[in-house]
Structure 1
Amino acid sequence: MKRTIKLAVVAALALGATSAFATNGSTMIGVGAKSRAMGGTGIGVGHGAESALANPAMITTIKGNNEVSFGGTVFMPDVENTNNVGMGAQVEESEADFFVIPSVSLASKLNDNFYWGIGMWGTGGLGVDYRDGAAATDMQFNMVTALQTMQFAVPLAYTTNGFSVAFSPIVQYSSLDINYDSTALGGGDNGAGVSQDVALGYNLGLAYETDGITVGAVYKSEIKFDIDDVLNNAMAGFLGAGTYTQDEMATPSEYGIGASYTTSGHTIALDWRHINWEDAEVYKDFGWEDQDAIAVGYEYATDGWALRAGYQYAEGAVQDNTGKNLAIDVAAQGAGMAELTNTLNMLGFPGTQESHVTLGGTYVFNETLSLDLTAVFGLENTETFGNFAGQDITTKHSEQGYTVQLNYAF
């Protein structure tokens, strides 16, 4: 058992060096192969060890006394930006189009009432790479951005008579990098640098199961982390030094409820999550709006295999800020610009994805070993807002991701 824990932690740390790109704003629609295959559902349906983040109370659904899951997602976003600043519109595709996102989970049954787990997951991120443009004429400003978050958790759960309650402390690693070149506007290279931080949070989970019906609820705390002067330096290229002095960012709080029904191998699951962007540091300054994510999933399972499908929808967190009078835009208008937040959102952090279709399945090799495969397709979404030059900026965004996960139960 101790050797298994060490292997899980080492594998997670090794995978953790990779980048992440996400879907609902800057968060994944779901963590783990089974959850992602069922539209990101996991609050009111159990997925064993991988349930630790979706709803820690669901780790009580592991098969056997112990379960370990090792997985990874190959994630391929397709982002195209068209920006017009009065010198003609320029179209460019982001080269940030291939990422690997890790997932390592372990859950163990201590006795009939107590369960615990440990794991590390890539939980979110966002970024673009427009370095292919010529600096002198580039309306995407050679912008390169990268936000990454990983979470390490130790879920603790208690269950009795079908009712489960859980608490999971969270350790989050975050990094933020922003670089661009404003030569096209008479400026220069604005290298803001990279900031990294480790911060703490927690998840709370509840679940109740009876006669094939399961209901669940979850709360995820806000996690604030330092970004040093990265964003301040980046904003100085537009507004001047010292105009924007925010040195703290936040992964937003979430809460949600879910339910599922299982009969004769068929399972239908439904989740609702509220993501609180409007109160999260930095995101609120840039006008990100709260999201209500609705996910529906289906599974048909036999002793030897399972098939899954799902759908999730959440209106994009990035909406048109024209007329909102955000502090950053007020400062920009004082400097002779229009909606600066629209430009930076659509160009550097385009959290505009809305609809996802998911498919997946499991093959069971024997009583202890199984393999999950999942495909997630983020349907193309196109948004056009007003930019800081009083013209239009348009972002076209679609995604696809493929997850492989190996599960070992004993």
Structure 2
Amino acid sequence: MTRTIKLAMAAAMALTATSAFATNGDNLMGLGAKARGMGGVGIATAFGAESGLANPALLSAVKSNEISFGGTLFMPKVDFESNAFAEAYSAATATPVMPVSSDTSKADMSMIPEVALASRINENVVVGIGMFGVAGMGTDYRDTLDGNTGVSSNGSFGMRTNLQLMRFAVPVSYSNSGFSVGVAPMLQYGSLNIAYAMPLATGGIDPQGSGVSEDFGFGYEIGVAYDAGAVGITGLTFGAKYQSAIDMTYDHTLEVTSQAFGLTGIDDHLEQPAEIGVGISYDILGSGNTIAFDYKQIRWADAKGYKDFEWDNQNVFSVGYEYTRNNWAVRLGYNFAENPIQEQAGASMMAPGEYDGAVKNFFNLAGFPAVVESHVTAGGTYSFTKMLSVDAAFVYAPEVSFSYDTSAMGQGLAYNMVLQNGGTPTDAANAAGATANSSADVKHSQTGVTVQLNYAF
């Protein structure tokens, strides 16, 4: 049975083979076209079967049976460059600094699937089932490598990363007198690959990485919702949710690949963090207008793996608007998520912690650049019949740019180059001291289009 589930999830994950879809950290901004069209809201706004992982309590809005399936075409654009190796090479060999230019990651398009079903069992209980691509991240700079010298034209060491996560959930909702409570047990399937190439002193490259690693993890989400119409305030809904952390272990990935850069104390755990959130929505009765607001916190700073790379907890604010009339609807939204990747001290390899900080700055921006903050969204629905409808959503995250200090990493590279070429520790220390300051620089923007077909019966 486990093998069957794994094969099914792996087949779905194959659709995201070039995945790089970080939005709120590495989590998708919202699940389903309706939520994405409204800025990712969903804690207090019911979206039928697809509410199963936003707030399972809101499945109570399903009247009979619903099926929803579709996907998101995600198109990130990530440009990266770092002069850490170039400055190190110059100091270690007493040669002019080699040119470095920004290059665009080839992980620039992916398909993210979603399938959700819900069925009302009786007056109080609704049960659902769903499979969602929920998170992921990745870059691909393999084409920047020179196979002869081992040097990467943008200083990325030919970095290639690919994290993909899919969840299988069975949400259940119980409602009575305007109050709803829901729980969604979750099985998570994940895969992670990190690879790059270190230049050798004799020329050529030393490939680093051990291929794709996979794991399963278990978690849950609980949610509550209250329809204030039960006390005479028609159209007003409150919601809250908690999502557990899900620990994953990707054997021989994070530990192996970080050691080549001199990082210690990093193991192979990468835990998707816990989330807490609250929301409110107001449907102005009879006008077709709905407004909604969500707040949630994603607890990266407490999650294994992410806290090792110094990610901060992330506050996410979403606001959405919907106008419905007859057989169509339009939606607008805005989502703001604080950048969870903060710059670490990295000026000197001799200062406690600064060498590690410089390497983490490099790794975060070269391999896991989850730095986008604002998202502008739009979407709509067209109903062909009372049972059949199609949703669409468009999400755009404007470009952000960050530059983080990697000077200590450049010093460490220079030190090791001198030793590899037969130099003394004194010579290596002199080269490290002569290394100019360096940085990792990233630019990141995103575009996404979601299409979804719904059938209610």
* Fold agreement, TM-score > 0.5: yes
The answer for the alignment partner of 2:174 in structure 1 is 158
Q: CA deviation at 1:189?
A: 1.1
Distance change (3 Å), C-alpha of 1:13 and 1:323:
closer
Q: CA deviation at 1:201?
A: 0.1
The answer for the alignment partner of 1:206 in structure 2 is 224
The answer for the alignment partner of 1:281 in structure 2 is 304
The answer for the alignment partner of 1:250 in structure 2 is 271
The answer for the alignment partner of 1:70 in structure 2 is 69
Deviation sequence 1:95-128 (CA, Å, 0-9, x none):
0000000110001100110111000000000000
Where 1:402 maps in the other structure, the secondary structure is strand
Of 113, 117, 124, the residue aligned with 1:102 is: 113
Question: Would you say the 8 A contact 2:316–2:336 is kept in 1?
Answer: yes
**Residues in 2 aligned to 1:192 and 1:251: alpha-carbon distance in whole angstroms:** 22
Mapping for residues 390-401 of structure 1, pairs under 5 Å: 390-401=437-448
**Residues in 1 aligned to 2:190 and 2:122: alpha-carbon distance in whole angstroms:** 35
Matched to 2:193, the amino acid is D
Structure 2: state its 5+ residue gaps. 1-5, 88-96, 411-436
Deviation sequence 1:329-380 (CA, Å, 0-9, x none):
95773xxx76110000000100101000000000000010000011000111
Question: Would you say the 8 A contact 1:125–1:146 is kept in 2?
Answer: yes
The answer for the alignment partner of 1:182 in structure 2 is 198
Question: Would you say the 8 A contact 1:148–1:174 is kept in 2?
Answer: yes
**Residues in 2 aligned to 1:253 and 1:56: alpha-carbon distance in whole angstroms:** 16
Q: CA deviation at 1:170?
A: 0.4
Where 1:287 maps in the other structure, the secondary structure is coil
Question: Would you say the 8 A contact 2:347–2:354 is kept in 1?
Answer: no
> In the alignment, does 2:455 pair up with 1:404?
no
The answer for the alignment partner of 1:216 in structure 2 is 239
More helix by share: 2
Rg (Cα) greater in structure: 2
Q: CA deviation at 1:324?
A: 11
Question: Would you say the 8 A contact 2:346–2:405 is kept in 1?
Answer: no
**Residues in 2 aligned to 1:228 and 1:121: alpha-carbon distance in whole angstroms:** 24
Matched to 1:65, the amino acid is S
Mapping for residues 341-352 of structure 1, pairs under 5 Å: 341-352=360-371
Where 2:15 maps in the other structure, the secondary structure is coil
Deviation sequence 1:246-300 (CA, Å, 0-9, x none):
1211000000000000012100000001000000011001011111000000000
The answer for the alignment partner of 1:137 in structure 2 is 151
Matched to 2:206, the amino acid is G
The answer for the alignment partner of 1:59 in structure 2 is 59
Where 1:76 maps in the other structure, the secondary structure is strand
The answer for the alignment partner of 2:81 in structure 1 is 82
> In the alignment, does 2:90 pair up with 1:93?
no
For the aligned residue pairs, the C-alpha RMSD in angstroms reads 2.1
Q: CA deviation at 1:192?
A: 2.8
**Residues in 2 aligned to 1:27 and 1:17: alpha-carbon distance in whole angstroms:** 18
Q: CA deviation at 1:318?
A: 1.1
Where 2:14 maps in the other structure, the secondary structure is coil
The answer for the alignment partner of 1:4 in structure 2 is none
Distance change (3 Å), C-alpha of 1:332 and 1:206:
same
Question: Would you say the 8 A contact 2:42–2:54 is kept in 1?
Answer: yes
Where 2:115 maps in the other structure, the secondary structure is strand
**Residues in 2 aligned to 1:330 and 1:151: alpha-carbon distance in whole angstroms:** 40
Q: CA deviation at 1:69?
A: 0.2
The answer for the alignment partner of 2:165 in structure 1 is 149
Of 325, 339, 349, the residue aligned with 1:316 is: 339
Question: Would you say the 8 A contact 1:259–1:270 is kept in 2?
Answer: yes
Distance change (3 Å), C-alpha of 1:131 and 1:323:
closer
Distance change (3 Å), C-alpha of 1:109 and 1:293:
same
Distance change (3 Å), C-alpha of 1:267 and 1:338:
closer
Question: Would you say the 8 A contact 1:239–1:332 is kept in 2?
Answer: no
**Residues in 2 aligned to 1:275 and 1:121: alpha-carbon distance in whole angstroms:** 18
**Residues in 2 aligned to 1:10 and 1:178: alpha-carbon distance in whole angstroms:** 22
Structure 1: state its 5+ residue gaps. 1-8
Q: CA deviation at 1:18?
A: 2.0
Where 1:238 maps in the other structure, the secondary structure is coil
**Residues in 2 aligned to 1:208 and 1:119: alpha-carbon distance in whole angstroms:** 24
Question: Would you say the 8 A contact 2:266–2:308 is kept in 1?
Answer: no
Q: CA deviation at 1:188?
A: 1.5
Question: Would you say the 8 A contact 1:109–1:116 is kept in 2?
Answer: yes
**Residues in 2 aligned to 1:265 and 1:111: alpha-carbon distance in whole angstroms:** 28
The answer for the alignment partner of 1:354 in structure 2 is 373
**Residues in 2 aligned to 1:298 and 1:71: alpha-carbon distance in whole angstroms:** 22
**Residues in 2 aligned to 1:13 and 1:148: alpha-carbon distance in whole angstroms:** 10
**Residues in 1 aligned to 2:401 and 2:121: alpha-carbon distance in whole angstroms:** 50
Q: CA deviation at 1:12?
A: 7.3
State the TM-score, normalizing by the size of structure 2: 0.82
**Residues in 2 aligned to 1:275 and 1:379: alpha-carbon distance in whole angstroms:** 21
Matched to 1:26, the amino acid is D
Matched to 1:362, the amino acid is T
Matched to 2:225, the amino acid is A
Question: Would you say the 8 A contact 2:13–2:164 is kept in 1?
Answer: no
The answer for the alignment partner of 2:214 in structure 1 is 196
Question: Would you say the 8 A contact 1:74–1:99 is kept in 2?
Answer: yes
The answer for the alignment partner of 2:390 in structure 1 is 371
